[in-house]
Amino acid sequence: MPDAPVRNVSTGAVRGVTADGIDRFLGIPYAAPPFQERRFEPPQPAAAWEGERDASAFGPTAPQAPYGGGLEDYLPTVEIPGDDILTANVWTPGGTGLPVLVFVHGGALTRGSAALAAYDGRTFARHGVVYVSVQYRLGQEGFAVLPEVPQNLGVLDVEAALRWVRAEIAAFGGDPANVTVMGHSAGANVLAAALALPHAKELFDQAILQSGPLVAQPPKKAARMTLEVANRLGVPASRDGFSHETPAKLVETQTAIAAGGSPLGGGPTVALAVGGDAVPTSPLDALLAGASRGIPVLIGSTSEEYRLWFVPSGALDKIRRATLTIARLAAGVPARVVKAHRRRRPDATPGEVLGEIVGDMLLRGPLTRFADSRIAADAGTWVYEFRWRSPVGGLGAAHGMELGFVFDAIETPDAIALAGADAPQRLADAMHSAWVSFVKSGDPGWQAWSARRPVQAFDADGGHIDYAPRADELEGLPTR
């Protein structure tokens, strides 16, 4: 490959590939493989190598199981064997001093990888952005709550990746002083934890948080999955006990436990745990108290997040009015909130009303409180809501539906599985250009958050501003 592009980082030279004027470097280690003697340890520096390292293919993916319960029809899984899972991938158009965008994938902290076709960085690179995607430990490898094991190892991985970007991205034409992070779902949850840290500005300069929780669980609650895994395997819930089990066995056991739950059952999940260096306090509490008010933030959700959680499993149609009432009372949601939802959608089923309330409690309510806390901040906050409704399988404007539009990749199989083959290109043009604008200038092109609560509503028309939408639905929601 005599014409293959080569770049030098501190650990050695990497040889990538070029296509359509974009250089791509894949599977670059930002930390050492977190297995054997480094298992359940914080990320360690990657070893140097001799000669040119082949960077033409993605590195191994974190141990995980494919989606099930109907989600496999909409959410793909890529599995690449190997231990070298802490890697970064770079797309660059060439040049110097270019803005940088770092993407952290979602997947409920148990699934996902940077190798998914939907996360290809060519569309950002062709607009003059150096795009980076990173991988991190998932499941029990990254988020087990065990004595003598640092909590939230997966978050520490992402921090290490961001420090790698600061140190190495100039070799790919990026400006290390102009780094925007972007996370979706669990990836946004991880980045919210990073945003809440006192040293967040050491890691990045701007943040995009898409449909991500802003909270972490108390250690006792976060440990429920770890304890149940230990119980089923008959091993101590300790570093020694888990180290004697293979990563595949931990994944298998964790997946079986999760499959026995339901969207409403409140069973054990993998979650960020409050405590330790990575998540010293609840991210939302720290952010509401003023953390990172000097960092510009673009944040939002889809209008029907719940449909990805409730529709494929069949749960939506099983929810009756009595279920809605019981769930409302258990969560401390006032009856007026239900009435507000019914005023906007008088034909909504009990499952749809409950789904919207769940989405508001998990995502829309906290992000609105977060944005309100930054009205007088030094840096701006921009809020969006994705409203375009997919015709596929009753998904509507479900969780994850915006990704194909943000990446301007609605023609990819991953996007078609969610949005169908006739998704509006006009909407993709609008969203992608807004994200590029934010990365380049710190402004996506609509009104920053203020007391009027402007929300950029993305629909087939390409987007328009709504002021304080859903205010009556959000008023009175419990904040814990």
Name beta bridge partners: 182: 103, 208
Q: What is the DSSP pairing of strand 381-386 with strand 454-458?
A: parallel
399 as an active site residue: the answer is yes
84 token code pair: 């070298």
> What values do phi and psi take at 31, rounded to 5?
-155, 165
> What token pair was written down for 387?
């409203």
Active site (annotated) includes residue 56: no
Residue pair 357/373 in contact by the 8 Å Cβ criterion = no
Q: How far is Cα 117 from Cα 34, in angstroms, rounded to an integer?
A: 25
Considering 113, 185, 211, 301, which one is annotated as catalytic? 185
Nearest Cα to Cα of residue 214 among 240, 194, 236: 194
Integer CA distances (angstroms), 213 to 183, 354, 366, in order: 11, 18, 8
Annotated catalytic residue within 141, 159, 305, 402: 305
User: What is residue 445's DSSP assignment?
Assistant: S
- Alpha carbons 263 and 273: distance in angstroms, whole number: 20
Residue 159: name the closest of 133, 189, 191 by CA.
191
Catalytic residue among 399, 402, 432, 473: 399
Q: Cα-Cα-Cα-Cα dihedral of 205, 210, 215, 221, to 10°?
A: -130
Q: Give the ranges where 279-359 is alpha helix by DSSP (H).
A: 283-288, 306-310, 321-331, 335-344, 350-359
Question: In whole angstroms, what is the distance from residue 121 CA to residue 131 CA?
Answer: 6
Closest CA to 349 of 335, 364, 338, 362: 338
Active site residues: 185, 305, 399
